[in-house]
Amino acid sequence: MKVLALSGSPRKKGNSETLLRTVLQGVAAAGGEIEMIRLCDLRIQPCIGCGGCDKAGECVLEDDMQELYPKILACQRLILASPIYFYGITAQAKGFVDRCQALWNRKRLLTEKGEWRKDPSRKGFLLAVSATHGERVFEGAILTAKYAFDAMGMGYGGEFLVKGMDGRGDMAKDAATLTRAEEAGRKFMD
């Protein structure tokens, strides 16, 4: 089963990426065929709200997002990982999500033609790490992920959320959480 894993963290080997790599160990153990991409390594322009995707369901902007669209459509599982910045996902992750408006329009157009076929086996999963312990710290990220996965033609397969990872390397020191994260990766493949 194809799994596309997207790291929305601007920091290489940071807490979010450590969590993602651990979840991917569980995904691999369950037979997942993984492709991991760091969104920061790509040139993805922000959506300009031009409406260019309204008629064809394709984004008119030419950048690295064009290479991601077919990968999104081909995968059965997608994992979006992000640290929490001001109660939401990072700018890099949000830029990616905003550009999925083209996929939402694609889905809308296919539905209007009677050609859209929902595939309930396609699922998205959110990984998020916060430095703070705020009661509602993940709400914005979860809501964004749910709508983003829907635009990609995926159901919401859940989330794995970790609070209190403030310092560099904190996640790597939390063996209990990493054990639970690997198991979450296995379960996500069910």
- Give, as one character, the DSSP assignment of residue 171: G
* Top CATH class, 2-188: alpha beta
In the prediction, which pLDDT does 2 show? 98
Size of the chain, expressed as the number of residues it contains: 190
The mean pLDDT value for 110-136 works out to 96
Surface-to-core class of residue 186, CB atoms within 10 Å of its CB (0-12 exposed, 13-18 middle, 19+ buried): middle
pTM of the model: 0.96
| 10-38 pLDDT tens trace | 999 999 999 999 999 999 999 999 999 99
| 34-64 pLDDT tens trace | 999 999 999 999 999 999 999 999 999 999 9
In the prediction, which pLDDT does 69 show? 98
In the prediction, which pLDDT does 136 show? 96
Domain range list for the chain = 2-188
In angstroms, the CA 153 to CA 150 distance is 5
